[in-house]
Amino acid sequence: MKKKSDLSEAAIDDIVIRQAEDEAAWDEPIEVRVQAPATLALPSELAARAAFFARLHRMPDAATWLRTIIEERIAFEEAAFADLKQAMASSSGSDD
Please indicate, yes or no, if residue 72 is contained in any of the structural domains: yes
> Is residue 40 included in any domain, yes or no?
no
Q: Which domain holds residue 91?
A: 60-96
For residue 52, give the nearest of 68, 72, 66 by alpha carbon.
66
φ, ψ at 26 (rounded to 5°): -100, 140
pLDDT at 8 over 80: yes
22 is a domain residue: no
Classify residue 21: in a domain, yes or no.
no
Residue 17 lies in a domain: no
50-93 confidence digits (pLDDT tens): 999 999 999 999 999 999 999 999 999 999 999 999 999 888 77
**Considering its fold, how many domains does the chain have in total?**
1
The whole-chain average pLDDT of the chain stands at 88
Task: Output the pLDDT for position 96.
Answer: 55
Under DSSP, is residue 86 helix (H, G, I), strand (E, B) or coil? helix
The model's pTM is 0.55
Query: pLDDT class for 35, splitting at 50, 70, 90?
Result: confident
